[in-house]
Structure 1
Amino acid sequence: MVALAYTNIFTADIDRLAEFYGTLFDLAEITESRSPIFRGFITECSSIGFSAPDAYDLLGLEPQTTAGDRVLQTFDVGSEAEVRELTARATKLGAAIVKEPFATYYGWFQAVLRDPDGNAFRINSRG
């Protein structure tokens, strides 16, 4: 079985975006990996990182130049109440609601938001 170890989000302001997600989900920072171009946090099953633009060169990647959603992060929580609570908390921290908490056709309960950089993410309960 394959396990997703890390997901990274590129951002012009790693401190701001790392603080947003770290505060919203009460995540522990992986301080050993902190650098001027990276911040990482542990989640229950994997880790999430925030990379500054200088990381493109380090990784041999070219920055994306066109607008559009390419990745959707989904954060699982234990209940519908937590989805609602974290959605409200996210908006206080600077997120914008795309879709209010709702029941999906596949039995999950989730909200769709955009973080302060405009990246789409979901707060989800599998029911």
Structure 2
Amino acid sequence: MKIEHMALWTKDLNRMKEFYERYFNASASERYDNKQKGFSSYFLTFESGSRLEIMTRTDITTSPAGEHFGYAHLAFSVGSKEQVDQVTETFRKDGFEIAGEPRTTGDGYYESVVRDSDGNLIEITI
């Protein structure tokens, strides 16, 4: 298993993208927009191959209650759809909350979402 990416909510998506491009030599993906959800994001790839997703959503305007600017989730790549399903079931069996059932998202990820023991969101991806 490996960490697939980290994600941060931000008030100003373009400002944050330019910051990481400028100071950390990140390469930005095409901007992803989901107008129905008011969601936009970029994936920033670093020279090491590590990635950071920066995101904004129209209904997230303050912190720290609920979703907030800063840490949003960790994502772990497990290798296959079958593994996503299996790991999700292990979390379920062990009593962890399944915050999002396995599915293919609008931006092409096959993932599930679970909450760790502190309630932080963890994406389980291919």
Greater helix content:
1
* TM-score, L = length of structure 2: 0.44
